[in-house]
Copies of this chain bind each other. A is one copy, B any other.
Amino acid sequence: MSTITALQSKDIVEGFRRDIHERLMEIAGSYGSPESLYTPMQYVLESGGKRIRPVLVMLVADAYGGNTHAALDTGVALEILHNFTLVHDDIMDRDNQRRGRPTVHTKWDISTAILSGDGLLALAYKVLLNIEEVDVRHVLKIFTDGVMDICEGQAFDKEFEQRTDVTLDEYMMMIGKKTARLISMCCVLGGSISGVSSPEQDRLGRFGFLLGEAFQVQDDLLELTSTADVMGKSLGSDLTEQKKTFVLLKALEMSDPEAEKKIRSFLDVEHHTDADFVALKSMLTDVGIVEKTKEFVQKKITKAQKILAGLDADTEHLRYLADKLSHRKA
């Protein structure tokens, strides 16, 4: 991709991001009382984030010359859904920081976080239901099946914390439901509201799914290599919560029996010191997990790019975004 094209794509993405933020603020700002419900909802929606999901919806719609007004609100609904999952997951995972700010249950309390999460899910439906000129039953079925899958993914994630024999396949199934499914859904819905055929929607779904898998596995790696400042959220919480991430499971696969025993002994301990965490980090990097994970991510992105190439659309900006995501630092 030429530098000029990349710059154009960057402008497009930035423009979409601004539109999304504005629309989100407009929607969030139209609610006032009761304060204990709407203030935390606004707090979450204004807190930024990469807005990758709604940007994807808009890029897909744009690639087919689709209805950008409908795409904006579809994207916004998916971003609100994403935020609903963050608010509830943060309670369950006891994460106290998100996007550089205290999480809702930390700033307020668990009741407030439960209720404002519920409010966000209702709001997502409300936004979707106000989009004109789409097959609302089709759109909402995809959306609702997605919500259910995301709940299943989170349930598996919590179940896996209690187990020490989780396999890499089980892990990929879990992040498929929890993360990749939502990103896949963004691409499918971006196509659906633009009136693309059902097989083309399937291809868009596969593209989004691969992108989502890459995104999540990269997140696991950043948890190991980045800092809390750059990421804007608590790091190491995956490990303290006994999460079996790609990085951990793949490192176990790659380890000789002695190294495996050492890493596993870490998993059996319930509370870790900072020194434990540093020790684990070096055990994992020693087996070459950083390079291996990057390679895995790149393979997924390459596959995703191949699907893009076969679409009946102008996918230049989508290619740019996929490429950017595979090199992200936060």
Q: Is A118 close to B, CB under 8 A?
A: yes
Task: Kindly identify which residue among B110, B152, B155 contacts A91, using a CB–CB cutoff of 8 Å.
Answer: B110
Q: Any chain B CB within 8 A of the CB of A111?
A: yes
Q: In the complex the two chains form, is A118's CB within 8 Å of B37's CB?
A: no
Residues of B within 8 A of A118 (CB): 88, 117-118, 121, 147, 151
Stretch touching chain B among A138-146, A207-215, A292-300? A138-146
Instruction: Give the shortest distance, in Å, between A109 (CB) and chain B (any CB).
Output: 9
A144 touches B129 (CB 8 A): yes
Complexed CA–CA distance, A154 and B38 (Å)? 12
Distance in angstroms from A151 CB to nearest chain B CB is 5
> In the complex, what residue of chain B is closest to A137 when comparing beta carbons?
B136
Task: Report chain B residues within 8 Å CB of A121.
Answer: 118, 121
Is A119 part of the binding interface, using a Cβ–Cβ cutoff of 8 Å?
yes
User: In this complex, what residue of B is CB-closest to A40?
Assistant: B155
Interface set, chain A 4-53, CB cutoff 8 A to B: 34-37
Q: Which of B115, B145, B148 contacts A154 (CB 8 A)?
A: B115
- Cβ of A309 within 8 Å of any chain B Cβ, yes or no, is no
Q: Does A266 belong to the interface (CB within 8 Å)?
A: no
Q: Which residues of B contact A147 (CB under 8 A)?
A: 118, 122, 125
Shortest distance between the CB of A232 and any CB in chain B (Å) = 23
Judge whether A114 is part of the interface by a CB distance below 8 angstroms: yes
What residues of chain B lie closer than 8 Å to A137, measured between beta carbons?
A: 129, 136
| A105-140 CB contacts (< 8 Å) to partner B | 110-112, 114-115, 117-119, 121-123, 125-126, 129, 136-137, 140
A159 within 8 A of B: yes
- Total interface residues on A, CB under 8 Å, equals 36
Contacts of A171 in B (CB 8 A): none
Q: How far is the CB of A142 from chain B (nearest CB, A)?
A: 10
Q: Mark A135-175, 1 if CB is under 8 A from B, else 0.
A: 01100110011011001101110110000000000000000
- From 32 to 91 in chain A, residues with beta carbon under 8 angstroms from any chain B beta carbon are 34-37, 88, 91
- Scan residues 243-276 of chain A and give those whose CB is less than 8 A from a CB of chain B: none
Kindly list chain B residues whose C-beta atoms are within 8 Å of the C-beta of A36: 155, 158-159
A92 within 8 A of B: yes
The listed residue (B37, B126, B151) touching A37 by CB distance below 8 A is B151
* A148 & B119 in contact (Cβ 8 Å cutoff): yes
Which residues of B are found within 8 Å of A158, using beta-carbon distances?
36, 111-112, 115
Contact B115 A155 (CB under 8 A): yes
Q: Do B88 and A114 have beta carbons less than 8 Å apart? A: yes
Q: Is the Cβ of A148 less than 8 Å from the Cβ of B126?
A: yes
- Could you list 6 further interchain pairs (A-B, Cβ under 8 angstroms) beyond the known A91-B111, A122-B148? A34-B152, A114-B114, A115-B151, A125-B125, A136-B136, A136-B140
Q: A residues near B, CB below 8 A?
A: 34-37, 88, 91-92, 110-112, 114-115, 117-119, 121-123, 125-126, 129, 136-137, 140-141, 144-145, 147-148, 151-152, 154-156, 158-159
